[in-house]
């Protein structure tokens, strides 16, 4: 469609897409761009960039005097952040096929060079140089500004983990994963690392917030599977966009303090119930124990949503030795690296740092026996292939562990893949149907 309202090509059937959990009409973005004086034509696509990640890209035909900065500032005033394209590419004309349809093959591929930057700010300090170099390697982009929002550059949970791993193994700097979500620019991160604040051990670093723009009275507290990292919920959070997801790592503290520390971290965010908890696999068992403890002290948990969690009926009689625990932790890390081959270059970091968390998690599970009942409603979403080498317990037993409502339904994907890109949107829809009943 051009600035006069005439449609110049047909045949696009991808006008509605889902981004960060929101349904987005590409035509609406195009129309807003076309309202800017000086824009002649505009096409917006949700398309793979040079790294294979899908991004919003705007192809613009405009008067030479109109800058990309002017265009982005114009649409930022009328569109929410998730609808503002990451990439802007100026063209002499929109390429069409002989039939008058959009010629996708003739469009330039979005890359680091086409990411819009308000103003390039070069690194100054040594730490800024280090971080820029790491992010340029990970994102395969050049000239990343220290003031760029990393998530606007296409950073996801996998690249966050790679950054933290490379910072630790290459430079001996340990930065909590959550910090990238709190301060998502290189300038902020470098300043924090250079200060003494990062030397302070704080268990709140084990809690990260997804969807800070979500409604304040709609919190979901998420507990980790045996890989021990709460960042596994990032994709899920994109499809639960009206909720604020607080996601926990497994805490490396004494087992006697574990539940009390989780409760303290929960109450720092939400002092009173009712609470909503979610856990996948072992995270469901952990969430159940926290629910029991909260109810015992008079708090209310409204919903307990369990993704393929197995009720553990007895303490593990074949308790793992230290060597077996180390072996299983290694196997768990190897499985994670196999699922996410882009992380394999950081294998040493995972085997050492994440492996220790996993070993502690296995030790906790060895001593765990789920018992008793809670008043919270329990909803189980089970995978179609609920099996894994290290799982013990009975998924059907949750029915007897609540005096509230109970439901169970089939989810999507197998035990290991329910939060993967292929199935996460479908499973998020099941979670939303539970939350919004």
90's CB contacts (< 8 A; 6+ apart) are 60, 61, 62, 68
The DSSP annotation for 129-150 comes to: HHHHHHHHHHHT-S---TTS-G
Radius of gyration for the alpha carbons in the chain, expressed in angstroms and rounded: 24
Give the pairing of strands 219-223 and 244-248.
parallel
Copy the structure tokens of residue 4: 């006069």
**75 neighbors 26 (Cβ within 8 angstroms):** no
368's CB contacts (< 8 A; 6+ apart) are 285, 289, 312, 315
Check if 317 is active-site: no
The DSSP annotation for 260-280 comes to: HHHHHHHHHH-SS--EEEEEE
Check if 415 is active-site: yes
CA distance 369 to 313: 6
SS3 61: strand
Listed in order, strand segments (DSSP E) in 275-328 are: 275-280, 301-307
Catalytic residue (choose from 157, 241, 281, 325): 281
Listed in order, strand segments (DSSP E) in 198-349 are: 207-210, 219-223, 244-248, 275-280, 301-307
Catalytic residue (choose from 377, 379, 412, 415): 415
| Beta carbons within 10 angstroms of residue 4's beta carbon | 7
Positive or negative, the Cα torsion across 405, 411, 417, 422?
A: negative
Please tell me whether the peptide bond between 274 and the residue prior to it is cis, using omega within 30 degrees of 0: yes
Catalytic residue (choose from 241, 247, 308, 379): 308
Check if 281 is active-site: yes
Residues identified as active-site: 281, 308, 415
């Amino acid at each position: 469609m051009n600035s006069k309202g005439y449609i110049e090509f047909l045949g696009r059937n991808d006008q509605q897409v889902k981004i960060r959990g929101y349904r987005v009409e590409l035509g609406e973005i195009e129309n807003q761009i076309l309202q800017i004086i000086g824009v002649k034509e505009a096409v917006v696509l949700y398309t793979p960039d040079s790294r294979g990640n899908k991004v919003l890209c705007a192809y613009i035909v405009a008067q030479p005097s109109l800058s990309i900065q002017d265009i982005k500032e114009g649409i930022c005033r009328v569109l929410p952040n998730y609808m503002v394209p990451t990439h802007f590419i100026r063209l002499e004309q929109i390429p069409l096929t002989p039939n008058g349809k959009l010629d996708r093959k003739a469009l330039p591929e979005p890359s680091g060079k086409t990411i819009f930057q308000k103003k390039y700010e070069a690194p100054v300090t040594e730490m800024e140089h280090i971080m820029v170099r790491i992010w340029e390697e990970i994102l395969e982009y050049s000239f990343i500004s220290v003031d760029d929002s990393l998530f606007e550059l296409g950073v996801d949970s996998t690249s966050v983990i790679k950054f933290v791993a490379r910072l630790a193994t290459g430079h001996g700097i340990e930065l909590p994963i959550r910090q990238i979500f709190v301060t998502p620019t290189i300038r902020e991160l470098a300043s924090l690392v250079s200060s003494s604040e990062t030397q302070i051990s704080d268990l709140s670093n084990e809690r990260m917030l997804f969807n800070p723009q979500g409604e304040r009275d709609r919190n979901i507290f998420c507990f980790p599977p045996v890989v021990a990292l709460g960042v596994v919920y990032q994709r899920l959070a994109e499809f639960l966009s009206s909720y604020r997801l607080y996601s926990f790592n497994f805490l490396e503290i004494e087992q006697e303090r574990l539940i009390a520390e989780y409760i303290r971290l929960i109450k720092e965010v939400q002092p009173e119930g009712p609470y909503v908890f979610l856990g996948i696999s072992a995270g469901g068992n952990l969430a159940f124990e926290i629910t029991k403890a909260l109810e015992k002290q008079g708090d209310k948990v409204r919903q307990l949503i369990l993704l393929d969690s197995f009720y553990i009926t007895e303490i593990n009689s074949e308790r793992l030795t230290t060597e077996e625990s180390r072996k299983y932790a290694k196997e768990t890390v190897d499985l994670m690296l196999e699922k996410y081959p882009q992380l394999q270059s950081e294998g040493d970091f995972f085997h050492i740092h994440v492996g220790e968390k996993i070993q502690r998690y296995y030790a906790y599970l060895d001593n765990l026996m789920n018992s008793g009942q809670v008043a919270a409603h329990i909803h189980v979403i089970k995978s179609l292939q609920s099996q894994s080498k290290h799982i013990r317990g009975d998924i059907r037993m949750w029915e007897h562990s609540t005096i509230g409502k109970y439901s169970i339904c089939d989810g999507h994907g197998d035990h290991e893949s329910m939060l993967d890109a292929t199935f996460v949107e479908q499973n998020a829809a099941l979670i939303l149907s539970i939350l919004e009943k």
